[in-house]
């Protein structure tokens, strides 16, 4: 399993994607009927798109989408797209990339597997080019809690006498965002980004879990809006220096902060508890949806939003956008800033009665969603990466 246990998967019947959770945390309820729980099916859809904007008008667009069971019988599946522009000397002056990926959580060696991940990033040092980039990862799990006698799941929990049970699950969140401008942002010129995660039960009007981050870099500074229980913190240059960023890089970043714009955010490692009711022998779907989008401006701006693991390829990307910056040092320091603030555990208000021991995992009891903001374009091989490059004069 994931937060405290390891999940062991096996196929059920003739279904290629039917899986059974072999180890679960145990809920104890006096006088209740024991039951078992299993994942019957896992599905996923991933997509990403990159839209070029020339003088604020739509230009080239590149997108990709993959579906588990259609494009691949087993994970991983990923969608990738990119656009870039070059000057008259064939030097890249603007770039945007997106990657959305779903991995098999049952094969992870990590205690909290990273099955959902997406990365979107863009920068422009061209006078007329900007980008809008989006990424989306969806996962669906069909789950059933069974009474004794079923061979689907080997571990028993207990129902109340009416056949219902309230279970407790967790979502794991972690991440970072960086955005910059080499010039002072004026009125009407903004850098925007958004990240959201929802978990819902099919057929129900209210979400089981819902959190989002919206951020805007503008003339008055960095504005962040958080909905839901998400914890976000800013990182300043003093902290980057303490974490090992060299003086030359700090000088460049300091110039951005003084004469332009610089914002760095981290989401400390955090676990969010949520609860929902189940009924014995009734299967149901849980859907998790992770989305992100960014929008920059021309002539010296950039953003990177990453979800699913620590920064891994931010180094190369930021060095292309900001010559003279030690990208590896920036990458390491942001990862360290995120890690040192956690882990955090955020619980909702306790129910009025029947306080329960927690299940481990997310999207219900059966697994975890470890979310971290990152850039890692090397995850896509050159043969499978979809790339479009255009030449511009400037």
Domain boundaries, the chain: 33-377
pLDDT of residue 378: 24
Q: Shortest CA distance to 272 belongs to which of 199, 336, 215, 206?
A: 199
Angle ∠(114,117,120) on CA atoms, nearest 5: 155
DSSP, residue by residue, 170-203? EEEEEEEEEEEESSPPPTT--EEEEEEEEEEETT
The segments of the chain whose pLDDT lies below 70 read 1-37, 106-113, 148-157, 350-394
- For the chain, the C-alpha Rg in angstroms (whole number) is 22
Contacts of 226 (CB under 8 A, 6+ apart): 211, 212, 213, 214, 232
The pTM (predicted TM-score) of the whole model is: 0.82
Distance CA 77, CA 87 (A): 34
Distances from the Cα of 56 to the Cαs of 50, 268, 292, 348, in angstroms?
14, 35, 21, 43
Q: In 10-143, where does DSSP find H-type helix?
A: none
Q: Shortest CA distance to 92 belongs to which of 100, 82, 101, 102?
A: 82
pLDDT of residue 26: 26
Distances from the Cα of 62 to the Cαs of 46, 52, 98, 127, 297, in angstroms?
15, 9, 10, 21, 19
Condensed to tens digits (0 to 9), the pLDDT of residues 206-254 reads 999 999 999 999 999 999 999 999 999 999 999 999 999 999 999 999 9
Contact 5, 18 (CB under 8 A): no
pLDDT of residue 333: 97
pLDDT of residue 185: 94
252 three-state secondary structure: helix
Q: Shortest CA distance to 299 belongs to which of 132, 130, 177?
A: 130
pLDDT of residue 311: 83
Distance CA 127, CA 319 (A): 19
pLDDT of residue 36: 57
Contact 155, 290 (CB under 8 A): no
């Amino acid at each position: 399993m994931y937060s405290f246990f390891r999940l062991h998967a096996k196929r059920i019947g003739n279904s290629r994607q039917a899986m059974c959770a072999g180890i679960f945390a145990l809920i104890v309820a006096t006088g209740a009927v024991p039951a078992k729980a299993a994942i019957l099916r896992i599905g996923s859809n991933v997509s990403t798109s990159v839209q070029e904007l020339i003088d604020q008008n739509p230009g080239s667009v590149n997108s990709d989408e993959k579906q588990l069971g259609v494009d691949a019988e087993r994970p991983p599946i990923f969608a990738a797209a990119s656009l870039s522009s070059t000057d008259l000397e064939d030097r890249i002056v603007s770039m945007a990339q997106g990657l959305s990926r779903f991995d098999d959580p049952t094969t992870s060696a990590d205690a909290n597997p990273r099955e959902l991940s997406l990365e979107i990033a863009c920068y422009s040092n061209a006078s007329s080019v900007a980008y809008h980039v989006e990424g989306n990862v969806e996962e669906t799990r069909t789950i059933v809690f069974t009474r004794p006698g079923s061979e689907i799941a080997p571990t028993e929990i207990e129902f109340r006498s009416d056949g219902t049970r309230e279970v407790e699950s967790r979502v794991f969140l972690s991440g970072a965002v960086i955005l910059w401008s080499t010039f002072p942002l004026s009125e009407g010129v903004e850098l925007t980004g958004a990240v959201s995660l929802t978990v819902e039960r099919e057929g129900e009007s209210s979400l089981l879990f819902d959190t989002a981050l919206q951020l805007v870099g503008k003339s008055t500074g960095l504005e962040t809006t958080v909905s839901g229980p998400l914890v976000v913190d800013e990182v300043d240059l003093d902290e980057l220096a303490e974490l090992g960023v060299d003086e030359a890089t700090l000088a460049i970043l300091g110039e951005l902060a003084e004469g332009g714009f610089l914002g760095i955010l981290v989401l400390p490692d955090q676990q969010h508890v949520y609860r929902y009711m189940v009924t014995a022998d009734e299967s149901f779907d849980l859907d998790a949806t992770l989305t992100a989008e960014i929008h920059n401006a021309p002539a010296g701006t950039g953003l990177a939003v990453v979800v699913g693991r620590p920064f891994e390829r931010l180094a190369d990307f930021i060095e292309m956008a900001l010559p003279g910056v030690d990208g590896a040092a920036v990458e390491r320091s942001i990862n360290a800033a995120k890690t040192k603030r956690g882990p955090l555990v955020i619980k909702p208000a306790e129910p009025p009665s029947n306080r329960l021991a927690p299940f481990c995992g997310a999207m219900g009891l059966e697994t975890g969603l470890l979310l971290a903001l990152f850039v890692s374009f090397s995850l896509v091989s050159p043969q499978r990466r979809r790339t479009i490059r255009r030449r511009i004069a400037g």
